Structure 1
Amino acid sequence: MAYARHQSFYLRDKWFSKGLRAVDQDSRFFFNEFSFETIGLGKNMVESLKYWLIAFNVIEERTREGIRGHYLTELGKTLYDDDKLLQRNETLAILHYHLTRNINDQSTVFEWYFNKYKETSVSKPDLLKSFVTWVSQNEAKEISEKSLKRDIDCLIQFYTKAPNENDPEDVIFCPFSRLYLMECIHSGEGFDTIKKITPEIDSVGIIPLYYVLLSHQAANEVDLISVDEILNREYLLGKTFNLSRNKIIEALNILTNHESYPIQFVRTNNLDYIKLAKVSPIDYLKSELLKG
């Protein structure tokens, strides 16, 4: 598991497009000593940017003809062509899912907070204490509390650092604050309250919700998924997006009317299941994006 590889920088506005463009133009970009000069960021910021792009699963490191480089993944190519400026919440929600899924073992604190940590409202010190306890129980080696505190700080800023409405030149906000999955209620005593927020379906978008379901189907090779699983199982809609059962049912009802890939409700052993279409997550995503 990985900790504090973000250099204490949450993703800033415009970083995503800058990073994908740099990799698309030069696979050796992140290995170049003076890459920070060409992209206009500090050295630590460039390291942070590389971290985020790998954690999002939009770039990967490969060796071609004996030379290491970074290349856009299929997801990276798709988002680079369609929404590299992160103007749509659907794009943010898909990238959020990949952070919480943590397939590349880069974003442990995101996986932990959304999938394993059950409290919905907690003081910041208690949140850190819970993370420290969980890491100590799941890591063979000792991880410094300083690193874990940087992870918690970054996690909170990632979802709560909204634009300054009084400053149109503000560039240090995080675009993921638009998903409104977390709220930080400030206290002058250092005991800020961190709350998980249940968003409206429209603010996340129906496309990411189906993308997550299809990703689960592909990863687990299942034909049916129960509504209870969708609500309570790790890496599915209830955990990933803090969705209630009512919100999940609302989304599933919308997906029964999908023009190309409608889902079906199936009742088995007095439990409600859904049956998804047979399409890969990336093919589904491309088909939706082609609609404009």
Structure 2
Amino acid sequence: MMAYARHQSFYIRDKWFSKGLKAVNQEKRFFFDKFAFETIGLGKNMVESLKYWLLAFNVIEEITEDGQKVHKLTDLGRILFENDKLLQRNETLAILHYNLIRNIKDQSTVFDWFFNKYKETSVSKPELLNSFITWVSQNETKEISDKSLKRDIDCLIQFYTKTPDENDPEDVIFCPFSRLGLMKCKHSGEGYDTIKKVVPELDNIGIVPMYYILLTYQNLNESDLISVDEILNSEFLLGKTFNLTRGKVVEVLNILTNHENYPIQYVRTNNLDYIKLAKVSPIEYLKSEFLKG
């Protein structure tokens, strides 16, 4: 069964990420300690929420050691902990966003649904919620409460639109993912907010996450060639992950043909454009990029 509203209604806040990774790195049973909230300086529900986000981002994993459940940093979690735990680089945010929409172990269904499956690009908030409710009812065997689904939609919107308050330098309740520029929430005087998928500036996303996604896709599907159409239209590829147009996708691919270590190649087969990626694992590629940066 897919998961809903496990975030306790909290989108991830600035500084939470580094606190969580640091805590797990120091103490693998951290999230099983009933006083964890005191150690980390967050409310109990916030700690539950933080654990949820770190698992959904695939930066920590839950395993059993000596009969006990523990958490440890994944390979990705280790790279980010050592190189950008404060989420200062947009590339890091873009990679974490990608892991959310991959909905690993069915932990972040609403993100997967909105970016991969939902076709509308501009919609009122009630329509968005109704579409999600309909989709869930068609894809779930069990009934999920509308209240949980509403919490998911509210969290999704805040996740990408909660920008820092310019008048408050101490503002800590913004969400760092608003920097990606993937969504706008337009408040209307009368009626409802309008939610829009936005085509971001490539600089907001960075080339590193784009290549990481292509390599991950190649890895998971064991495919040597990926068509440009696929990259634009398939789930978990560049078009859907970042709301990109064909022009932007081609721009990214052209940049990657000149990559200094791992250039991609264009291949034309049956009048279709394909790309051939370098032979490197996604994690090795990331390591090389982060160590450079």
The answer to whether the superposition gives a TM-score over 0.5 is yes
Residue 272 of structure 1 aligns to which amino acid in structure 2? D
1:188 Cα deviation after fit: 3.7
Q: CA offsets, 1:34-75, max 9 Å, x none?
A: 100010000000000000000000001111111211100000
Structure 2 counterpart of 1:169 = 170
Structure 2 counterpart of 1:125 = 126
Structure 2 counterpart of 1:266 = 267
Residue 224 of structure 1 aligns to which amino acid in structure 2? L
Provide the C-alpha distance between the structure 2 equivalents of 1:31 and 1:103, rounded to a whole number of angstroms: 22
In structure 1, stretches of 5+ residues that fail to align are: none
Structure 1 counterpart of 2:241 = 240
Provide the C-alpha distance between the structure 2 equivalents of 1:73 and 1:104, rounded to a whole number of angstroms: 15
Residue 238 of structure 2 aligns to which amino acid in structure 1? L
Structure 1 counterpart of 2:204 = 203
Residue 184 of structure 2 aligns to which amino acid in structure 1? E
Structure 2 counterpart of 1:249 = 250
1:157 Cα deviation after fit: 0.0
Provide the C-alpha distance between the structure 2 equivalents of 1:129 and 1:190, rounded to a whole number of angstroms: 16
Structure 2 counterpart of 1:73 = 74
Q: Write out aligned runs for 1:94-173 (5 A).
A: 94-173=95-174
Runs of 4+ in 1 over 3 A off after TM superposition: none
Residue 219 of structure 1 aligns to which amino acid in structure 2? L
1:187 Cα deviation after fit: 2.0
Residue 265 of structure 1 aligns to which amino acid in structure 2? Y
What percent identity do the matched residue pairs reach? 79
Q: CA offsets, 1:193-222, max 9 Å, x none?
A: 000000111110000000000000000000
Provide the C-alpha distance between the structure 1 equivalents of 2:239 and 2:291, rounded to a whole number of angstroms: 28
Provide the C-alpha distance between the structure 2 equivalents of 1:190 and 1:237, rounded to a whole number of angstroms: 34
Q: Write out aligned runs for 1:44-55 (5 A).
A: 44-55=45-56
The two structures, once aligned, show a CA RMSD in angstroms of 0.6
Structure 2 counterpart of 1:30 = 31
Residue 262 of structure 2 aligns to which amino acid in structure 1? Y
Aligned to 1:184, what secondary structure does the other structure show?
A: strand
Q: CA offsets, 1:104-125, max 9 Å, x none?
A: 2110000000000000000000
1:190 Cα deviation after fit: 4.7
Provide the C-alpha distance between the structure 1 equivalents of 2:22 and 2:218, rounded to a whole number of angstroms: 31
TM-score by length of 2: 0.99
